[in-house]
Structure 1
Amino acid sequence: MCAVPAPRVRPRLRGVAEGRPRLQTRESFCHSTVLLMGQRSGRQERSKKPEMSLSENMKAEEEDDREENKELKTKDQRLPLVFGVADLKNGAVGLYNVGQTCCLNSLLQVFLMNIHFTRILRRITVPPYASLKRNNVPYQMLLLLEKMQSGKQKAVSPIDLAMCLSTHRVNMFIQHDAAQLFLTLWNLVKRQMKDQDLVTKLSDLYTICVQEHLACQICSSEMKRNSNMLTLPLPVLDSNSHMLKTLEDCLQCFFHPEELTGHNMCFCEYCDKKTPFLQSMKLVHLPQTLTIHLKRFCFERSTNVYKLSHCLPFPQELDFNAVLTEQQSQAHGSEKAAWRYEIFAVVAHSGSTNSGHYCAYIRSLTECKWYCFNDSTVCQVSWDDVKCTYGHSDLNWGQTAYLLIYMKKHPQ
């Protein structure tokens, strides 16, 4: 049966304001403090059954869990045999839009097409009870992976995972910001993994480490601290609000020292007052899977949010050693030697800040072919098609790259 295309909707885009374009100040880097998005919606229906005592209620829930566990037992036994969507054994599989879930669908495709992520996902501990399984994000992602791999459908429904996310305050029926939803999904997966070895592997797969330097311009005292990030948030405007022309320019701008003056001054313990500081960033560590967030959404002092759609090319291969100077890195030679990447996926946004749509362009790691995942519609594309996401100032509804996912190249 042919896949029914998702209805064309132009949902509200929420959570896209990211700072004034004039300054493009750096944001907080600690991923452990990421807030969950969305709110619970709808009313709870009152039960028509007579109220039970606490012990009776617990027994009833345990009985329900046992019944549901019987139904899931066979499926759970099959889970270790899942090879992963990235192998594309039955062709690329789409995801139906079940309520403005184009953002979620795009991110799920990026996660599940990453064989390094699915290797970790396939090793999770299956929750013991049905109620726990329903609310466990990594387990529901694993079920979706199995469903996409084992069937012959051109598209499947992510409704079970979407309902699971709604219990964690990630609502359906609203449009999410892809960068924020990526952080939310990753944190939920990490939080619900019981095996600490897998948690470590997940962190190693995605975590970026930078060293922040703050130098007082009066007494020359210096403070250093290491910060971990899941995405590298790159400005697309420089400090004078000029449009940056390439991804390499954005990287240089992010790691370029910034003067903190006026109300941006910091308190100096040695001067015992607020003083001008020089802030700089040094790159310490890059992971296997590198996620770059292009800060396309900005707001002015009037709080009007707008999208920066100008053309910003990004390369197929990216060598950080050729982009950053010696002063912009704080790493050993063996670490820096591995800072060579090739593009793996692009999450693109079309539309404006008020309405829009997400899709994902992903390169199969086994076939080395590019696919466009647009909800339930999946088609093979070329690199020239991917380059159409560079952006164009005159095409407000055109596709614009928002998240870039690079994969570390293996040494020859």
Structure 2
Amino acid sequence: MLSRFYSYITARDLQNEMRGLSNYLLSCCVNTLLQTLSATWELSGLLERWDSAGVRADSHNVPLELKKVLSAMKSDHRHNTPHRDFLNCLDRNNFRLCVQHDADEVFLSILNFMQQQMDDKALALEIQKLYKVSVETRLQCLECSCIQTQTSFQLSLHLHVKEDHNSLEGCISSFLEDQELRGRDCCFCAQCERKTPSKRDVKLLSLPRILCMHLKRYRSSRGGIRKLDCRVTFPETFDFSEIARGGFSRDFAQVSWERVQGTYGKYYGGTAYMLMYRRSSKEEGRQPEFSG
């Protein structure tokens, strides 16, 4: 069975008060993610275990600079946290500061840098495991019924958003629904030795401690890209097994749940792109619950 209960990650998860982060060039997206990571005590704890004394301090090591900035965010709260070294480190690794980035892109890039640049590979894998979703994809040819199965993993779930009102539970259900692939979406069948209409279904084999979900709010339109400002409501706590049968981390400033709900999205309003939920601790060793 899948892990069950998850809850939204919020400022309540911080042992200390929030630290401010100044906007530098187009760093607002990175700043928001840093606030999220600072509230993810599981990640901070793993980085604190990392003996980085032997790492060359050449300002190119992203996990080293991340460890420093997360530590600084726990210290003196009277001033904004100095985080330009971290931002410049990303820039030196070709993640340019002068370019607008998607939150999910920033998140996955930082995880990738940790895998590449941490000398303690076992610890780097533990960090990745915090977010790792095991996925089984089954493709059935609609002409010969041949079935191809592939197991892989993702570090976030990429959820399709419709152009009208959505709910997180509905987006997850749509992700898990069977899909028929026809026309230009036909897939190669090894038995028919050509592209044929197929049916695809996705099964989540395991869910992580921190469940990250990316709301796909952009569409290709007339040779360009447009953003969907439609509402996507999301709960403070949800039971994943109930959805399967059918992060965002919460805004990491100290705000009410009611204000967080303002990021559901509307025309000219706040718009959530990424949701992070933590598996309920009471479910450890059983089927856990997820909450945001």
Classify the TM-score, shorter chain. 0.7 to 0.9
2:249 is aligned to 345
Q: Secondary structure at the match of 2:170?
A: helix
Cα displacement (A) at 1:344: 6.8
CA shift at 1:189, angstroms? 1.6
Identify the match of residue 230 of structure 2 among 299, 310, 324.
310
Residue in structure 1 matched with residue 15 of structure 2 by the alignment:
87
Alpha-carbon distance, 1:128 to partner: 3.1
Indicate the residue corresponding to 1:259 in structure 2.
180
The match for 1:404 is 275
Q: 1:104 is aligned with what amino acid?
A: V
Counterpart of 2:5 in structure 1 is: none
Q: Secondary structure of 2:172's match? A: helix
- Counterpart of 1:181 in structure 2 is 106
Larger Rg belongs to: 1
Match of 1:158 in 2: 83
2:255 paired residue number: 381
Report the CA distance shift for 1:244/1:259 in structure 2 as closer, same or farther (over 3 A): farther
TM-score computed with the length of structure 1 as normaliser: 0.63
Q: Residues 404, 276 of structure 1: CA spacing in aligned structure 2 closer, same or farther, 3 A cutoff?
A: same
Q: What is the distance in 1 between the residues matched to 2:145 and 2:91?
A: 50
Count of residue pairs brought into register by the alignment: 271
Partner residue of 2:287? none
User: 1:208, 1:229 within 8 Å by CA — same for their partners in 2?
Assistant: yes
Q: Does 1:226 align with 2:147?
A: no
SS at match of 2:226: strand
> How many angstroms does 1:101 deviate by?
0.6
1:169 corresponds to: 94
| Aligned: 1:101 with 2:12 | no
How many Å apart are 1:207 and its aligned residue? 0.6
Deviations 1:318-370 (A, max 9, x none): 111111128xxxxxxxxxxxxxxxx8724xxxxxxxxxxxxxx12xxxxxxxx
| Structure 1 segment 13-412 matched on structure 2, within 5 A | 86-88=14-16, 91-128=17-54, 130-132=56-58, 134-237=59-162, 243=164, 245-300=166-221, 302-325=222-245, 345-346=249-250, 361-362=251-252, 372=253, 380-392=254-266, 395=267, 397-411=268-282
| TM-score, reference length from structure 2 | 0.87
Change (3 A) 1:129 1:213: closer
Provide the C-alpha distance between the structure 2 equivalents of 1:344 and 1:311, rounded to a whole number of angstroms.
15
**Distance (Å, rounded) in 1 between the aligned partners of 2:203 and 2:227:** 29
- The 1:249–1:146 alpha-carbon spacing in structure 2 relative to 1, beyond 3 Å, is closer
Shift of 1:244: 5.1
SS in 1 for 2:51: coil
> Distance in 1 between the 2:164 and 2:105 partners?
24
Q: Counterpart of 2:272 in 1: which secondary structure?
A: strand
What is the rounded CA distance, in whole Å, between the counterparts of 2:227 and 2:96 in structure 1?
Answer: 24
Aligned Cα root-mean-square deviation (Å): 1.9
Query: Higher RCO, 1 or 2 (CA under 8 Å, sep at least 6)?
Result: 2
C-alpha displacement at 1:131, in angstroms?
A: 4.2
CA distance in 1, matches of 2:160, 2:55: 45
Contiguous gaps of at least 5 residues in structure 1: 1-84, 327-342, 347-360, 363-371, 373-379
Give the conservation status (yes or no) of the 8 Å contact 2:165–2:231.
no
SS at match of 2:42: helix
Q: CA deviation at 1:307?
A: 1.3
Unaligned runs of 5+ in 2: 1-12, 284-292
Cα distance change of structure 1 residues 145 and 230 upon mapping to structure 2, 3 Å threshold? same
